[in-house]
A and B are shown apart, each in its own frame.
Chain A
Amino acid sequence: MNLWEYVEDRWDLILFETVQHASMVAQCVLVAAVLGVLVGVATYRRPRPAAVATSIAGVLFTIPSLAMLGLLIPPLGLGVAPSVTAIVLYALLPIIRNTVVGLRGVDATLVDAARGIGMSRRGSLARVELPLAWPVILTGIRVATQLAMGIGAVAAYVSGPGLGEQIFSGLARLGGANAVNSALTGTIGVAILALLFDGCFVLLGRLTTPGLRHG
């Protein structure tokens, strides 16, 4: 059975796993984005808390994903819970860091103008600073999404949902029937999903940054 026949044969299952994978990644990134931007907004004005937040996220980032998932089994068991937790934790770092960098990079004279015409701190943040930092934050979210794609595949190790199942079962049966096909299907599926998501981000960037691009 070649790869194409394999995919045709199990189309329903693969489609289901792909949708699961995409949905898991999307939800995890959404949670990480909300948390990360909140942490970034809360800390960017003060150097020390910002440094603490970034380095905690950085330390989490250095833990290998398999080890992290393994560590999460005792408290959270198997399945969705440890997978989602791990993906969110990994996705936080690029988002927090880019939020802090993006907000700090906003031209100080624009913040002065915003305050000077009577915007409150919150108003200036919502109407001026966040929109101007948005391209940088969005890049952070985009990187986080790519990360989440990969970690999501590894999450099958703790019986997480998604295309990782294809890869792991294939690798476990290496030499057996359809083992390579299964691993390839999982890998290619994740890659295609990653490209699709990236395309969405490019589109989202275009749609949400009026007036900021040249030309």
Chain B
Amino acid sequence: MADGATVGVPIELRKVTKAFPGGGEPAVRELDLHIPAGEIVVLLGPSGCGKTTTMRMINRLIEPTSGDILIGGRSSRDIDPDRLRRHIGYVIQQAGLFPHMTVAANIAQVPRMLGWPRKRIAERVDELLTLVGLEPETYRSSYPRRLSGGQQQRVGVARALAADPPVLLMDEPFGALDPISRERIQDELLRLQEELAKTIVFVTHDVDEALKIGDHIAIMQRPGHVVQYARPAEILTNPAGDYVEQFLGGGSSMRLLRLTQVGDIELDRIPYASEDMDARDLLREVELDGRGHALILDGMRRPLRWIAQAELEGVHGPVGDAGEPVTVSIGHRMTLQDALETLLNADTDVLPVLGRRRAYAGALSLGTVQNAIQSIKARERERRLRRGEAP
């Protein structure tokens, strides 16, 4: 990223109400929401719950009937709407690229309105295309029609980022993509966000997308209010009431698996040794452990081989190069879901977990995963009880 890149600013909604003329009950009612700087906050809810209206009030595409919206401490009412919007990135479903302009011209729109010199715009366009994973040489002068849906949305994101705004609004941006492209572009958004640390308001009705993308999720209910505003894990383990539970649907334990990384849970320990360790010492450990296996690590603590109890019996001196090579292992950044998948497909019941620089960090078995889920749930239950007792 270019030096001096703008990081996110907080957004504060204060008692924001929107009533459309002749619309009966307001679309959004007295909404209070604090969106922390540099976080992705997802507005989640069924259609008609006011999530899009809420988002569009932030860049004043819809004017609030009452209440105030502060962006980085400044009331949005004090800024001319067109100028305000030039400093808030805006991404919509199916990208909304202008079909009569090249990819480069699409991305250049906001910088051009801000009066950047031509050369700086051209450099910025190439920089952004690279950032969203499109080769500038190839895509710069092609027209949006020639791009796939996923590529179009990448350009949409690049256009939103063009003038380096602190805030990004995304209205169901990946809703029209096929599942594979959607997964990929979600991953990329998360990767980008690690670099950029923008404040992102993301509207969706897709629970899994919300859980994957959001640092915080605001679950909204008709008409226009927030029923729960919390981190994804908290929402899964401690849904605020029937509405949230119903909206999440079943499978919250499965979702927890997708949300938790292997490195976050307590791992199993198995006996391990370096090649020069005495076989008798290792045998004693394996017998104590009772599962009949040990890991041989190299000098950098990277797993090399599995060795069975039988292979150790009667051996004197160093362990040496006996045993079967380790073929399957689990990275500490893997989600529990992927780890489970790997476990189920592996020949052994236990797999080594690799930490940083692929060094041995522990072991994982089905039992470990089960224990982890149970302890997460127990912790949340406890927290709920404690909060219930507090005044």
Using CB atoms and an 8 Å cutoff, list the residues of chain A in contact with chain B: 109-110, 112-120, 123, 127-128, 131-132, 209-212, 214
Residue of B nearest to A116 (CB): B90
Tell me which of B86, B94, B144, B169 contacts A118 (CB under 8 A).
B86
Any chain A CB within 8 A of the CB of B98? Answer: yes
Q: Given A109-B94, A210-B143, are A117 and B85 neighbors across the interface (CB < 8 Å)?
A: yes
Assign chain B's interface to a size class: 20 to 34
Cα-based distance from A109 to B156 in the complex (angstroms): 13
Cα-based distance from A120 to B110 in the complex (angstroms): 12
CB-CB nearest 4 A-B residue pairs: A113-B96, A118-B86, A211-B143, A118-B85
Subset of 29 A-B contacts with CB under 8 Å: A109-B92, A109-B94, A109-B96, A110-B96, A110-B98, A112-B92, A112-B96, A113-B90, A113-B98, A116-B61, A116-B90, A117-B86, A118-B82, A118-B83, A119-B82, A119-B113, A120-B82, A123-B113, A127-B98, A127-B109, A131-B100, A132-B98, A132-B99, A209-B100, A210-B143, A211-B99, A211-B102, A211-B144, A212-B100
Q: Given A112-B61, A211-B102, A211-B144, are A117 and B94 neighbors across the interface (CB < 8 Å)?
A: no
Residue of A nearest to B95 (CB): A113
Please determine whether B98 and A114 come into contact, CB atoms closer than 8 angstroms.
yes
Please determine whether A117 and B145 come into contact, CB atoms closer than 8 angstroms.
no
Please determine whether B82 and A211 come into contact, CB atoms closer than 8 angstroms.
no
Any chain A CB within 8 A of the CB of B59? Answer: yes
Please determine whether B96 and A118 come into contact, CB atoms closer than 8 angstroms.
no
The A-B contact count (CB < 8 A) is 67
Tell me which of B98, B102, B159 contacts A128 (CB under 8 A).
B98
Chain A contacts for B96, CB-based, 8 A: 109-110, 112-113, 116
Any chain A CB within 8 A of the CB of B366? Answer: no
Please determine whether B93 and A109 come into contact, CB atoms closer than 8 angstroms.
yes
Cα-based distance from A212 to B92 in the complex (angstroms): 20
A interface, by DSSP: helix, strand, loop or mixed?
helix
Cα-based distance from A112 to B102 in the complex (angstroms): 19
Chain B contacts for A120, CB-based, 8 A: 82
Q: Which of B98, B102, B143 has the most CB of A within 10 A?
A: B98
Any chain A CB within 8 A of the CB of B160? Answer: yes
Tell me the residues in window 94-124 of chain B with beta carbons closer than 8 Å to chain A beta carbons: 94, 96-102, 109-110, 113
Tell me the residues in window 46-100 of chain B with beta carbons closer than 8 Å to chain A beta carbons: 59, 61, 82-87, 90, 92-94, 96-100
Please determine whether B93 and A115 come into contact, CB atoms closer than 8 angstroms.
no
Tell me the residues in window 287-338 of chain B with beta carbons closer than 8 Å to chain A beta carbons: none
The smallest beta-carbon distance between A86 and chain B, in angstroms, is 35
Using CB atoms and an 8 Å cutoff, list the residues of chain B in contact with chain A: 59, 61, 82-87, 90, 92-94, 96-102, 109-110, 113, 143-145, 159-160, 169
The smallest beta-carbon distance between A129 and chain B, in angstroms, is 10
Chain A contacts for B93, CB-based, 8 A: 109
Cα-based distance from A92 to B85 in the complex (angstroms): 37
Residue of A nearest to B146 (CB): A211
The smallest beta-carbon distance between A110 and chain B, in angstroms, is 6
Tell me which of B102, B110, B144 contacts A117 (CB under 8 A).
B110
The smallest beta-carbon distance between A211 and chain B, in angstroms, is 3
The smallest beta-carbon distance between A108 and chain B, in angstroms, is 10
Chain B contacts for A115, CB-based, 8 A: 61, 85
Residue of B nearest to A109 (CB): B96
Q: Given A117-B159, A118-B110, are A211 and B101 neighbors across the interface (CB < 8 Å)?
A: yes
Q: Which of A115, A118, A123, A128 has the most CB of B within 10 A?
A: A118
Cα-based distance from A214 to B145 in the complex (angstroms): 8
Please determine whether A117 and B160 come into contact, CB atoms closer than 8 angstroms.
yes
Further contacts, 7 of them, CB under 8 A, given A109-B94, A116-B90, A117-B159: A115-B61, A116-B85, A116-B96, A117-B160, A118-B83, A211-B99, A211-B100
Chain A contacts for B143, CB-based, 8 A: 210-211
Cα-based distance from A211 to B103 in the complex (angstroms): 10
Cα-based distance from A109 to B176 in the complex (angstroms): 14
Cα-based distance from A41 to B323 in the complex (angstroms): 81
The smallest beta-carbon distance between A124 and chain B, in angstroms, is 10
The smallest beta-carbon distance between B71 and chain A, in angstroms, is 14
Q: Which of A110, A113, A114, A128 has the most CB of B within 10 A?
A: A113
Q: Which of A110, A119, A127, A211 has the most CB of B within 10 A?
A: A211
Chain A contacts for B102, CB-based, 8 A: 210-211
Chain B contacts for A112, CB-based, 8 A: 61, 92, 96
The smallest beta-carbon distance between A198 and chain B, in angstroms, is 23
Cα-based distance from A116 to B62 in the complex (angstroms): 10
Tell me which of B83, B92, B100, B113 contacts A113 (CB under 8 A).
B92
Cα-based distance from A214 to B169 in the complex (angstroms): 31
Q: Given A109-B92, A117-B90, A118-B85, are A210 and B100 neighbors across the interface (CB < 8 Å)?
A: yes
Residue of B nearest to A123 (CB): B113
Chain A contacts for B159, CB-based, 8 A: 117
